[in-house]
């Protein structure tokens, strides 16, 4: 059993590149402070395929369209990333 990610902070995107990170599993909030384009949060399945993550509140795919957004997610232990590369984006996944 994997320890939940409570208190963990994974920075997924910095200026110019999407950086995959490791998530230990559990609930978290995706916080977007600056944004270019419409990136979406994705998790990697065991077979290497990346799939979109859905917001717990709305059921919609977690995708940004503006700066200063926050989404609630719950994930198993996995790799996570933002789907878009380029621009100036600062995004964190924070365990709660």
Backbone angles phi, psi at 18, to 5 degrees: -85, 125
Q: Closest by alpha carbon to 5, among 22, 24, 21?
A: 24
Radius of gyration for the chain, computed over Cα atoms and rounded to the nearest angstrom: 12
> Which of residues 85 and 45 earns the better pLDDT score?
45
Query: Which pLDDT tens digit goes with each residue over 26-38?
Result: 999 998 887 777 7
**Domain annotation covers residue 2:** no
Domain tally, the chain? 1
Q: Which residues have C-beta within 8 Å of that of residue 58, sequence separation ≥ 6?
A: none
Domain that holds residue 17: 9-95
**Domain annotation covers residue 4:** no
Taking residues 75-86, report their average pLDDT: 84
Distance CA(41)–CA(91), nearest Å, equals 10
**Domain annotation covers residue 70:** yes
For residue 11, the model assigns a pLDDT of 82
For residue 47, the model assigns a pLDDT of 95
Band (pLDDT 50/70/90 cuts) for residue 85 is low
For residue 11, the 8-state DSSP code is E
Q: Where are the alpha helices (DSSP H) in 1-96?
A: none
């Amino acid at each position: 059993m994997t320890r939940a990610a409570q208190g963990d902070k994974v920075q997924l995107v910095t200026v110019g590149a999407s950086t995959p990170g490791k998530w230990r599993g559990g609930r978290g909030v995706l916080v977007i402070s600056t944004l270019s384009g419409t990136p979406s949060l994705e998790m990697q399945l065991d077979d290497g395929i990346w799939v979109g993550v859905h917001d717990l509140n709305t059921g919609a795919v977690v995708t940004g369209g503006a700066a200063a957004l926050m989404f609630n997610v719950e994930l198993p232990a996995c790799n996570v990333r933002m789907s878009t590369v380029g621009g100036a984006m600062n995004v964190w996944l924070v365990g709660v």
